[in-house]
């Protein structure tokens, strides 16, 4: 589906959820009041249930906001169209469960007394209504589109494998009013008269395009041709431009590149951009704001404890309290990395002589490292030695969540695919940290970092942060 259609679907689903949650709230409220006067399953309710109108209105607005925000946050609205019914049911269930839990939290914070039966009914009714609507949303939206919207007629230039793949995707988008008219042969070598997909479409010669633009309604033309042919089709592009027909180019001339592709501009120059890492400036800005807010608050709260720990490090072993080391940050930028010293003084100079004891080849990790001080072993077990890195987060060298920063010597040994982890700001915790920490082998560690980069979202960051807390408190996986 085209991005514009996809955006409209998300908006429609969000608006639908507003109506569904409002209906579910009122139905649950009505049902709970009826139970005051009737016996249901031999259970009687002797206290009349009601919620004051101002509180009721605010509670309804809170519920709507939470359900819709969860839909966008978890990208539920992106998955509904074409998703398996099991996925739709599961997404609606966790959305309703989290929404109901948020009301319980809201009730606790505001010291309200809400009926547990009402909350249970609200959660169940919301889930059932969401499932019923979403399972039939495709047909419903198609009917609305057919009644109130005009069809969008598309012609594909090209008749090869790439063009046919585009044709199949256009057929799948027919529910949104997209209509594939025909294919245009981009060279005389293409002799087929028709292309058979779910339907059968004629293949017309390139010189027939001028007549088609005059005789038929054509909203868009998609060029799915070999990249070497694009320059030769400049006259066709110019003709479409002069007539105001929207044109698109299928970017599959580098089929093995898995980066996200988008158009950017440098002044007046358009740039086709390939990004193998997250590039959404708004979400990355929000991530940075969260980093500053949480790191700043944490530093203020634990500052007294850090002073005590720093003093203990100095008193229990010779050397500075803070260990400084050069690490590789975003895109290979080098920065000074801080942590409480957990090893004896001069531990870095002993690194090469102890390398043969390492459990890994690239990133040296020695179980029962003889360089660790007794206090350092305790600090490492509960990751207390990492606290000074909150300053790195505040400065912008690091983020709260991201691949762990490596030393330059380790980066020099990376395989080419492993270097992509440098394209994300390093973090205080990571997917690796909540998946076993030091018990995870190096190859799996790198793959976990790639998985984080490929699936990154603000929700994933919060999930990792919340999972890190019990992991750190238990001390599991730390050597």
Query: Is residue 114 in a domain?
Result: yes
**Per-residue pLDDT tens for 464-477?**
999 998 888 876 65
End of a domain among 205, 223, 256?
Answer: 256
**Confidence grade of residue 356 (pLDDT, cut at 50, 70, 90):** low
pLDDT of the residue at 477: 55
How much of the chain, in percent, has pLDDT values that exceed 70? Answer: 86
396 with 302, same domain: the answer is yes
233 with 136, same domain: the answer is no
Domain extent, residue 16, equals: 3-143
Query: Is residue 365 in a domain?
Result: yes
362 with 296, same domain: the answer is yes
End of a domain among 143, 173, 205?
Answer: 143
317 with 235, same domain: the answer is no
235 with 298, same domain: the answer is no
24 pLDDT more than 90: yes
331 with 455, same domain: the answer is yes
End of a domain among 143, 168, 191?
Answer: 143
Residue count of the chain: 479
99 with 227, same domain: the answer is no
Query: Strands 269-275, 322-328: parallel, antiparallel or unpaired by DSSP?
Result: unpaired
Q: What is the mean pLDDT of residues 213-240?
A: 86
Query: Is residue 274 in a domain?
Result: no
Flag the least confident range among 20-29, 350-359, 465-474.
Answer: 350-359
19 with 40, same domain: the answer is yes
What's the total number of domains in the chain? Answer: 3
40 pLDDT more than 60: no
107 with 169, same domain: the answer is no
181 with 121, same domain: the answer is no
302 pLDDT more than 80: yes
| Top-confidence range, 15-24, 84-93, 132-141, 147-156 | 15-24
pLDDT of the residue at 201: 93
Q: What is the residue-averaged pLDDT of the chain?
A: 84
462 pLDDT more than 80: yes
158 with 198, same domain: the answer is yes
pLDDT of the residue at 369: 74
pLDDT of the residue at 41: 47
């Amino acid at each position: 589906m085209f991005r514009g259609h996809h955006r409209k679907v998300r908006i429609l689903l969000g608006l639908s959820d507003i109506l569904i949650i409002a209906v579910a709230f009122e139905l649950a409220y009505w049902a709970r009041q009826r139970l005051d006067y009737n016996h249901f399953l031999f259970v009687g309710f002797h206290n009349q249930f009601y919620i004051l109108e101002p509180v009721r209105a605010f509670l309804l607005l809170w519920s709507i906001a939470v359900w819709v925000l969860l839909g966008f946050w978890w990208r539920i609205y992106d998955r509904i169209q074409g998703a398996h019914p099991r996925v739709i049911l599961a997404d609606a269930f966790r959305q309703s469960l989290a929404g109901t839990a948020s009301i319980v939290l809201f009730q606790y914070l505001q010291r309200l007394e809400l009926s547990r039966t009402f909350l249970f009914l609200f959660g169940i009714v919301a889930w059932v209504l969401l499932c019923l609507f979403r399972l039939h949303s495709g047909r419903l939206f198609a009917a609305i589109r057919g009644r109130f919207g005009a069809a969008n007629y598309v012609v594909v230039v090209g008749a090869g494998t790439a063009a046919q793949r585009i044709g199949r995707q256009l057929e799948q988008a027919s529910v949104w009013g997209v209509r594939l008219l025909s294919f245009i042969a981009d060279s005389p070598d293409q002799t087929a008269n028709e292309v058979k997909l779910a339907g059968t479409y004629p293949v017309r010669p390139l010189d027939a395009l001028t007549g088609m633009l005059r005789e038929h309604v054509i909203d868009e033309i998609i060029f799915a041709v070999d990249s070497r042919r694009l320059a030769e089709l400049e006259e066709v592009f110019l003709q479409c431009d002069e007539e105001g027909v929207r044109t698109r180019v299928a970017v599959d001339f580098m089929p093995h590149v898995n980066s996200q592709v988008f158009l950017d501009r440098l002044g007046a120059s358009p740039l086709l951009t390939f990004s193998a890492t997250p590039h959404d400036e708004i979400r990355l800005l929000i991530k940075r704001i969260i980093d500053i807010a949480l790191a700043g608050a944490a530093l203020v709260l634990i500052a007294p404890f850090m002073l005590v720990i720093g003093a203990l490090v100095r008193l229990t072993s010779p050397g500075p309290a803070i260990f400084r080391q050069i690490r590789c940050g975003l895109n290979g930028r080098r920065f000074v990395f801080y942590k409480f010293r957990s090893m004896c003084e001069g531990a870095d100079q002993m690194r090469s002589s102890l390398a043969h004891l390492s459990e890994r080849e690239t990133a040296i990790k020695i179980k029962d490292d003889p360089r660790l001080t007794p206090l350092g072993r305790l600090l490492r077990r509960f990751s207390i030695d990492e606290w000074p890195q909150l300053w790195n987060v505040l400065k912008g060298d690091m983020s709260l969540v991201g691949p762990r920063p490596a030393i330059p010597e380790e980066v020099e040994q990376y395989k080419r695919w492993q270097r992509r982890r440098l394209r994300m700001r390093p973090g205080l915790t990571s997917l690796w940290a909540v998946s076993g920490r030091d018990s995870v082998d190096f190859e799996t560690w790198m793959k976990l970092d790639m998985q984080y980069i490929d699936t990154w979202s603000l929700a994933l960051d919060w999930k990792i942060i919340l999972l890190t807390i019990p992991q750190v408190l238990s001390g599991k996986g730390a050597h």
